[in-house]
């Protein structure tokens, strides 16, 4: 397949006046700092905790891939059910799976930059300019990353076009009419949902499901964002966080959470062209490919459908992988050199 540069992709789509949406995977965060956001970094952090159970898990399955370990645990549970194994054995496996999920969450948080101002300004500006290309075209931004990099860049650079669906609601309208001060809610998901164009498909560190509401933590005068998240974790609250193994299990998790389900449905309705960056369409991403195919069939007219996908690749191995899965796509696929995007600056 021919490989375009990122500028060639943008120039072509802008000439066509095509709406451009963006789908980002872990490669977006690794492009910022692979020493923090790679599977190896997360694995090495977990190993440094000297947890006997987790060490045994990774040793037995011989991988540093969290998703593969989780899938193997789920498969083991299914086999135990099929053969009528004792409930105590099944509970041990479930406990191991839960411990691994909590370990992954802890790893992401602990390895994370301390706060937004740790990101060099030049990198933040470059990333914001990259993101604006899509928002300015009327497109959506989708990410499967858990970290705060996207949120930080959008907030720090004052990217006005971005809307994540969250806002505050007036809690005492009657009292305000009588002259009392306004009392506003936490940042809850819903007030700006209709115009939402930023979507965390697998959740994120700063998003919490508190039962009646989905709320977003933010930086304020009482402390940095990560400090607020840590306080919630210490109190036993966990962020919205899809950590299942294969695509089918991820979809089950997504459909059981109204925020995640809404974001996924917005992906199903993507029109124009979808550009992917740092997303490798691995064996655990079948649900994403399925959503892309549904988007390609979504509307009766071409303008209402997803017409093409531009996949960023880094290596010859990436090219071979995408070529091997091309039959799964029911839409035009074109490759571009992800390195030419310079998302975090040259």
What's the Cα-to-Cα distance from 195 to each of 52, 227, 247, 271, rounded to whole Å? 47, 29, 28, 15
Query: Quick one: pLDDT at residue 119?
Result: 85
In the β-sheet with 188-189, what is the strand arrangement from edge to edge? 166-167, 188-189, 214-216, 203-209, 239-241
Query: Quick one: pLDDT at residue 217?
Result: 87
Rounded to whole angstroms, the Cα distance separating 151 from 155 reads 6
Query: Quick one: pLDDT at residue 62?
Result: 60
- Integer distance in angstroms from the first to the last C-alpha of the chain? 26
User: In this structure, what token pair is assigned to residue 47?
Assistant: 């190993």
Average pLDDT, the chain: 84
Query: Quick one: pLDDT at residue 321?
Result: 96
Mean pLDDT of 270-293: 93
Query: Quick one: pLDDT at residue 89?
Result: 75
- pLDDT tens per residue across span 84-119: 777 877 787 777 777 776 776 677 777 777 666 788
Query: Quick one: pLDDT at residue 16?
Result: 94
Query: Quick one: pLDDT at residue 272?
Result: 95
pLDDT interval class at 45 (50, 70, 90): low
Query: Quick one: pLDDT at residue 77?
Result: 74
- pLDDT tens per residue across span 168-190: 887 777 776 777 777 777 889 98
Query: Quick one: pLDDT at residue 262?
Result: 96
Query: Quick one: pLDDT at residue 61?
Result: 60
Mean pLDDT of 26-53: 76
Percent share of the chain, pLDDT over 70: 83
Of the given ranges (45-59, 118-132, 190-204), which has the lowest mean pLDDT? 45-59
Query: Quick one: pLDDT at residue 296?
Result: 94
Mean pLDDT of 34-57: 69
pLDDT interval class at 304 (50, 70, 90): confident
In the β-sheet with 332-337, what is the strand arrangement from edge to edge? 3-4, 332-337, 306-313, 272-277, 20-24, 141-143, 198-200
């Amino acid at each position: 397949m021919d490989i375009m540069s990122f500028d060639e992709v943008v120039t072509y789509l802008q000439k066509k006046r095509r709406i451009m949406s963006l789908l980002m995977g872990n490669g977006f965060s690794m492009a910022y700092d692979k020493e923090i956001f790679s599977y190896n970094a997360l694995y090495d952090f977990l190993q440094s905790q000297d947890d006997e159970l987790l060490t045994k898990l990774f040793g037995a399955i011989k991988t540093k891939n969290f998703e593969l370990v989780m899938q193997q645990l789920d498969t083991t549970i299914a086999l135990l059910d099929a053969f009528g194994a004792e409930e105590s054995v099944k509970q041990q496996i479930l406990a191991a799976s839960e411990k691994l999920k909590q370990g992954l969450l802890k790893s992401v948080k602990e390895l994370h930059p301390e706060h937004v101002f740790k990101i060099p300004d030049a990198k933040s500006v470059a990333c914001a300019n990259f993101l604006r290309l899509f928002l300015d075209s009327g497109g959506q931004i989708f990410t499967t990353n858990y970290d705060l990099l996207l949120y930080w860049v959008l907030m720090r650079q004052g990217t006005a076009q971005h809307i994540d669906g969250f806002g505050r609601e007036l809690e005492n309208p009657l009292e305000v009419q009588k002259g009392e001060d306004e009392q506003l809610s936490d940042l809850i998901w819903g007030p700006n949902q209709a115009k939402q164009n930023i979507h965390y498909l697998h959740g994120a560190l700063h998003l919490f499901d508190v039962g009646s509401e989905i709320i977003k933590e933010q930086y304020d005068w009482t402390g940095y964002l990560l400090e607020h998240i840590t306080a919630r974790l210490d109190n036993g609250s966990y962020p919205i966080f899809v950590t299942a193994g294969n695509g089918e299990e991820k979809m089950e998790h997504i459909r059981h959470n109204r925020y995640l389900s809404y974001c996924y449905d917005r992906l199903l309705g993507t029109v124009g062209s979808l550009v992917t960056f740092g997303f490798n369409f691995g064996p655990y991403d079948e649900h994403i490919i399925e959503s892309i195919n549904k988007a390609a069939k979504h509307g009766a007219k071409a303008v209402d459908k997803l017409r093409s996908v531009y996949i960023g690749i880094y290596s010859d191995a990436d090219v071979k992988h995408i070529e091997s899965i091309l039959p799964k796509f029911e839409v035009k696929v074109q490759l571009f050199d992800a390195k030419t995007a310079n998302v975090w600056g040259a």
